[in-house]
Structure 1
Amino acid sequence: MIELQNFKLLGIALAIGLLIGLERGWHTRDKGEGMRIAGLRTHGLIALLGGLWGILAVQTGILLMGFAFLSLTAVLLIAYSKSLNKFEDYSITSIIASLITFTLGALTAFGHTMLASATAVVITLLLGFKPLLHGWVNKLEQRELEATLKLLLISVVMLPILPNRSFDPWDVFNPYHIWLLVVLIAGVAYLGYFAIKIGGNRHGPVLTGIFGGLGSSTAVTLNLSRLSKTYPGMQNALSAGILTACATLFVRTLLLSSALNPALFRELFPPLSIMGVLTYLLAFLLWRTAREFQGQQEVMLDNPFQLRMALKFGAFLVAVLFLSKLLKIYFGDTSTYLLAAASGIADVDPITISMSQMSKDGLELSVAARAILIAVAVNSAVKSVIASVIGDRNLGLRVGAVLAIAVVAGLMFS
């Protein structure tokens, strides 16, 4: 059995090496024999070598892998130095790819076949997308690079170190949750910037709505509404983006509640599906009528990292959450519908999660479903107000009218 298992592991290692070698061989297919450091066969052998050394290391000790890795590195460096005498190619990508191939082959011998296989696919894609990635780098502006680094700073560096607990008796001022809102809003602004830059005036807002709506449709509404005052001729395109995000919220709410309590699906499917389909349809019609903006001046995009705006809106959401907690304290948990309306002012997800959980612990399904729909309706009204106050008047009318039609139609089937 052990021998059969080893043969299986070596087979996986060989397949990994051939996969990476296929891309490397295709990349250097125009070079003759002896002009390549490693191609299809060599990468297959390197992965197989890693697997064999890994099997030996399992029996003798892990230090053996270090010796094998250093030996292979020396051989590759010698081959690389010799190749420089034939042609000036200072790229070390092939050497790094060979060392990774050896490592992945060794990982299979230690039983990490899924990790090694998935990593091999990612590495192959990364190597194959060289022209595309280099094209992106060449088009990247200084402010866009700085915005990317700043967004990574507030999300990857700062967010994980914040304490994930409340510091007040109302369970509102949680530094982690508050900063997560800031990161989410800043992230949607960042996404919208590149969506409009890549997709243009007509397609960019809709792309922002599709992807931004998965995180925060309110943040999408805020960001696209701001653009409408600067570019009043883009109301249809921007309205389509906002409404796409709102429609995505309806679908997301249905999926989230059904995942937490499948019994809610029957209660929520008719109203939320009607809301979603109608909003998507009307957003599409608005997008179709946005052709007149193609000939106009392109949107002059500002800084993709909108931290100040994110901080202001994050503070607003915290204030609304605090108000929701006060309503809960003074009116009690029995006022489920009032609490749902208050929570829907800021976000639909919290009340969706709480109602789904409570419906499994004794709360009637009809009551839980009605509370979720109230939160959705209130949240839609809030986004209509945001579009009217922050955005252009015509944008507010478009967004408000579509959401009103969709919500009323959906509630009629609840």
Structure 2
Amino acid sequence: MEKLYDYLPRELVTFLLVTVFSLLIGLSQRKISLKREGETTLFGTDRTFTFIGILGYLLYMLDPADYRLFMGGGAVLGLLLGLNYYVKQSQYHVFGVTTIIIALITYCIAPIVATQPSWFYVMVIVTVLLFTELKHTFTELAQRMKNDEMTTLAKFLAISGIILPMLPDKNLIPGINLTPYSIWLATVVVSGISYLSYLLKRYVFRESGILVSGIVGGLYSSTATISVLARKSRKASAQDAPEYVAAMLLAVSMMFLRFLILIGIFSWDTLLAVYPYLLIMSLVTATVACYLHSKRKRTDDGTQAEEEEEGSNPLEFKVALIFAILFVVFTILTHYTLVYAGTGGLNLLSFVSGFSDITPFILNLLQGTGSVAVPVITACTMQAIVSNIAVNMCYALFFAGGKSPLRPWILRGIGCVIAANISLLLFFYFL
């Protein structure tokens, strides 16, 4: 935008921008006000907002140094807007000061355009337009929010913005790279991804089907998602069995992408080494899921399996505490395994970690525990994931029930993914 000043006078460009931005705000505000208040209580038309912007520009140009005329005009405009609000409140019982605030913002556009970079004033205009148009969206969102939703958000802000910066970054145990800061940093990152997946499921994909539930749930925990889907499948028909297993596999596919994000946050070198394998694993798993989904379509009777809303919030203090404890345990185990058993023992530990949450084990490797080499971290990450998928398959078989129609689909679908991942792991070793 600043390049226009090389071809046109600065005053002309600023005047045109102020006029256009003011008109856009006036158009959006007029539409919303007519729906909410009606013609009789309308503060002004789109031309009114345009003239407010032009007035602000003229008064700013007449006194660009001290802003006395601009501030005086703002005071008069504020008085007129206050009188308008008083009349609407007393005679028409119409409340709300949104229009007044937007009119004052429109009045301030001129000095903002004249003194600030283009990205800033465009960002201001876009924000005003979006928030004006999203009024009903915010209303519906507030109605859907749980009573403790703001408390949950406050908890996340507290653990990430208050507790984390206050923690010391000094080793708790001599010789082991384990600090309060590193423990809580890993907890905050994982909790943030979990909280994001919860918000997506509750507010963005609220009416989603089983497949979307598997995708979003995989961002939080593939083990939890597979267990929940397996329990819910007990009420499903045999025709829906491939769909449930496809959703489980999509959760596993998203798990690979989740670990790519975590690895990229904590170790860029490891990401460069491991990302081809994790992407291939994710793609293979998603392909098997799509195949199972197509099987359901061939035998479908036209009904769509419905999923009950999962109301639990993953961002709980006890969950964060359990993760922190597991992180400490795996950090100590990894250190002493390397000391007494070397990389061979670490490879064995990676398979054992699959029986619990593998995230703490992988994250403590990424944060440099024992100065583990990147190829070893890559191998251990892939081994832990394969082990965890096998454990998840056992969970799925258990929670689905002994006579569930899901069992053959689980064995075929997840078994195929495990075989493909083992083949890729062997390729990594012999490469």
Q: Same fold (TM over 0.5)?
A: yes
Matched, 1:284 2:293: no
Question: Does the CA-based 8 Å contact 2:215-2:250 persist in structure 1?
Answer: yes
Pick closer, same or farther for the CA change 1:253–1:189 going to 2, 3 Å.
closer
CA contact (8 A) 1:190 1:304 kept: yes
Q: Distance in 1 between matches of 2:192 and 2:397?
A: 24
Contact 1:166 1:174 (C-alpha < 8 Å) held by counterparts: yes
Determine the C-alpha separation between the residues in 1 that align with 2:72 and 2:347.
65
Q: Does 1:324 align with 2:334?
A: yes
Please give the secondary structure, in 2, of the residue aligned with 1:311.
helix
* Unmatched segments (≥5 aa) in structure 1: 214-218
Contact 1:324 1:339 survives alignment (8 Å): no
Q: Which amino acid is 1:130 matched to?
A: K
CA 111–317 in structure 1, closer or farther in 2 if over 3 Å, else same: same
| Aligned residues of 1:13 and 1:108 also touching (Cα < 8 A) | yes
Given candidates 174, 184, 191, the residue that maps to 2:180 is 174
Q: 1:205 aligns with which of 195, 209, 213?
A: 213
Matched, 1:301 2:314: no
C-alpha separation in 1, matches of 2:419 and 2:61: 66
Q: Contact 1:201/1:237 (CA < 8 Å) preserved in 2?
A: no
Tell me which amino acid in the other structure corresponds to 1:159: S
Amino acid in the other structure paired with 2:177:
D
Percentage of pairs with the same residue: 17
Secondary structure of 2:158's aligned partner: helix
The aligned amino acid for 1:315 is I
2:147 aligns with one of 142, 145, 148: 145
Higher Cα Rg: structure 1 or 2?
Answer: 2
Indicate which of 224, 234, 245 corresponds to 1:236. 245
Cα distance change on mapping 1:371 and 1:249 into 2, 3 Å: farther
Moved more, 164-173 or 24-33: 24-33
Q: What secondary structure, in the 3-state scheme, does the structure 2 residue paired with 1:407 have?
A: helix
1:312 matched residue in structure 2:
322
| 1:158 CA displacement | 3.5
Verify the 8 A CA contact 1:341 1:378 in the aligned structure 2. Answer: no
Residues 220-263 of structure 1 deviation map (CA, whole Å, 9 limit, x = unaligned)? 21431341454244742541342231242476589x49x9469x
Greater mean deviation of Cα atoms: 158-167 or 29-38: 29-38
Q: Is the 8 A contact 1:236 1:286 kept in 2?
A: yes
The Cα shift of 1:278 comes to: 0.8
**Which letter maps to 2:147?**
L
Per the alignment, residue 280 of structure 2 pairs with 274
Tell me how far 1:49 sits from its aligned partner: 3.6
Aligned match of 1:246: 255
Quote the offset at 1:277 in angstroms.
1.8
State TM-score, norm by structure 2. 0.70
**Pair 1:19 & 2:37 matched:** no
CA gap of 1:23–1:188, structure 2 versus 1, over 3 A, is closer
Partner of 1:346: 359
Contact 1:20–1:43 (CA under 8 A) maintained in structure 2: yes
Structure-2 residue corresponding to 1:126: 131
Out of 187, 192, 204, the position equivalent to 2:195 is 187
2:81 to 62, 76, 84: 76
Closer/same/farther in 2, CA of residues 58 and 331 from structure 1, 3 Å limit: farther
User: Kindly tell me: are residues 6 and 167 of structure 1, through their superposed partners in 2, closer, same or farther at Cα, counting changes over 3 Å?
Assistant: farther
Partner SS, residue 198 of structure 1: coil
Superposed CA offset, 1:113-172 (max 9, x none): 32221122122122112233323333x15xx231x2132122213321222524513232
How much has 1:9 moved relative to structure 2? 3.5
d(CA) in 1 for partners of 2:138 and 2:251? 30
Whether contact under 8 Å (2:256, 2:281) holds in the other structure is: yes
Q: Secondary structure of 1:231's match? A: helix
Within 5 Å, give how 1:41-60 maps onto structure 2.
41-54=47-60, 58-60=64-66
Residue equivalent to 1:407? 421
Alignment root-mean-square deviation, CA: 4.4
CA contact (8 A) 2:187 2:320 kept: no
Q: Is the 1:188–1:208 contact (alpha carbons within 8 Å) kept by the matching residues of 2?
A: no
CA pair 195-135 structure 1, distance change in 2 beyond 3 A: closer
Inter-CA distance 194–410: structure 2 relative to 1 (3 Å threshold): same
CA distance in 2: counterparts of 1:70 and 1:339, whole angstroms: 72
CA contact (8 A) 1:38 1:98 kept: no
What does 1:334-373 correspond to in 2, within 5 Å?
335=343, 338=346, 345-346=358-359, 348=362, 368=374, 370-371=375-376, 373=378
What is the rounded CA distance, in whole Å, between the counterparts of 1:249 and 1:236 in structure 2?
20
C-alpha contact (below 8 Å) 2:19/2:54 kept by paired residues: yes
C-alpha distance 188-81 of structure 1, shift in aligned 2 (>3 A): closer
**CA–CA separation in structure 2 for the residues paired with 1:377 and 1:187:** 25
Q: Equivalent residue for 2:389?
A: 384
